[in-house]
Amino acid sequence: MEKNVTNILVVGIGGQGVMTATEILAEAAIALGQDVKKTEVAGMAQRGGVVSSHLRFGPKVLSPQIMAGTADLLLAFESAEALRWCHYLKPGGLVLMNTAKLVPPVVNIGLYDYPDDPVAEIRARGYPVRAFDAMEIAMNLGEVKLGNTVMLGALGDHLPFPAEVLLDAIVKRFSAKKPALVELNRKAFEAGRAAAKAAGQEAVAA
C-alpha cells in the first residue's frame, strides 16, 4: 500500500522544457532517498505538440501513473493545458501555471478552440490557482529558456521538502554542463518563487 506519496503532473507544449523540469524534480526527490516513478507522453513534442509528465515519489511507489482526481500539484507551462488537465487534481490540489499563451497545433488546425479565460475556468471548478507569466520573467532575465527554471521556482514552496533541495538539483545539473548559467538559473528560480507567492496573495485578495 502506498503512503505519503506526492503526485505531480507537469504539462505543456513541446520545447518548453516539461520533461527536463520533471527530470530535475525526480533528481531532487532521489537525493532525499525517495522512491521515484515517472512517465511521459509526448505528442510530436519537437513540433510544439502537447507534452505531459507524471511524477510520483514517496517511501514506496508502485506505479508511475497518476489517476484522475489524485494529483497534488499541476505544474502547467501553458494556460490551455492547465485547464485541460486540471481534472487530474485531487480536491484542494494546486495549479501553478504560466499565463503566456502558446497556441498548440490542435487549435491552429481547428480541432479545438482556445479558452477565453483558462484561469477563471479553473477557479470556477474549485481549484486554487497561482498564475503568472513565466515567459516574461525569463525574458526580463535575458533568456527565454529560463522559463522552466522559473516554473520550478514557483513549485519550490509547495513541495514536501525545502525549496533549496530542488534548487540544488538545478544547480547540480547546470554546474556540470554550463557553469556560466548557474547564477542565472538561481535568479530564475527565486523569481519563480516570488511570482507564485505574489500570485497567491492576489488570489486571496480577490
Please write down the HEC assignment for all residues of 134-159: HHHHHHHCCCHHHHHHHHHHHHHHHC
Q: Hey, what CATH topology would domain 6-205 get?
A: Pyruvate-ferredoxin Oxidoreductase; domain 3 (3.40.920)
Residue 45: the pLDDT is 44
Residue 132: the pLDDT is 97
Span 133-160, pLDDT tens digits: 999 999 999 998 899 999 999 999 999 9
Residue 2: the pLDDT is 73
The angle subtended at Cα 183 by Cα 177 and Cα 187, nearest 5°, is 125
- Would you write out the chain's pLDDT as a tens digit for each of its 206 residues? 678 999 999 999 888 889 999 999 999 999 999 999 999 876 554 455 778 999 999 999 999 999 999 999 999 999 989 999 999 999 999 999 999 877 665 555 655 677 889 999 999 999 999 999 999 999 999 998 899 999 999 999 999 999 999 999 999 988 877 878 899 999 999 999 999 999 988 876 66
d(CA 198, CA 178): 30
For the chain, domain boundaries:
6-205
Residue 50: the pLDDT is 79
